[in-house]
């Protein structure tokens, strides 16, 4: 019988940990979105309708932490998902390596920018 050897692919392809991270971040996104909607519509009195309301809301210590976590989960989930789609286009190994680095940089830059933005909003509340 002709046997096919399993392709022991390089680590740059799809793998368990990326898949698992995508699933876990997806679950956390749903959870945090749920908390976000409940707080905005049912907990905050009258809803967060004005800029001042939002700034005041960010003064609650858990809120910026939650927003930063949400940012990290969304960025990770989106970039891993986009990478999965790009894999369907069968990029060459060098191209995939470049994509991995590009997405890592985009992810880090997005999170740094987001954290800075949240920090700015929080600091305006304390002014």
Q: Which of 21, 15, 14, 17 has its CA nearest to residue 77?
A: 21
Would you say 16 or 116 has its CB closer to another protein?
Answer: 16
- Could you give the dihedral angle defined by the CA atoms of residues 43, 49, 52 and 55, in that order, rounded to the nearest 10 degrees? 50
- Number of C-beta neighbours around residue 108 at 10 A: 11
Helices marked H in 39-92: 51-57, 62-87
Q: Which of residues 52-91 bind another protein (CB under 8 A)?
A: 84, 87-90
Asked if 106 interacts with another protein (CB under 8 A), we say no
Q: Which of residues 2-21 bind another protein (CB under 8 A)?
A: 2-4, 6-10, 13-16, 18-20
Minimum Å distance from CB 91 to another protein? Answer: 11
Would you say 47 or 81 has its CB closer to another protein?
Answer: 81
């Amino acid at each position: 019988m002709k046997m096919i050897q399993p392709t022991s692919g390089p680590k740059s392809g799809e793998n368990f940990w990326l898949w698992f991270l995508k699933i876990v971040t997806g679950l956390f996104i749903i959870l945090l979105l749920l908390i976000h909607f409940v707080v905005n519509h049912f907990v905050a009195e009258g809803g967060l309708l004005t800029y001042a309301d939002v700034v005041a809301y960010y003064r609650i210590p858990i809120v910026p932490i939650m927003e930063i976590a949400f940012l990290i989960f969304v960025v990770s989930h989106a970039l891993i998902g986009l990478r999965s789609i790009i894999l369907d286009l069968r990029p060459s190994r060098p191209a995939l390596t470049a994509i991995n680095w590009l997405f890592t940089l985009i992810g880090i830059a997005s999170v740094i920018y987001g954290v800075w933005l949240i920090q700015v909003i929080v600091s305006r509340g304390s002014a």
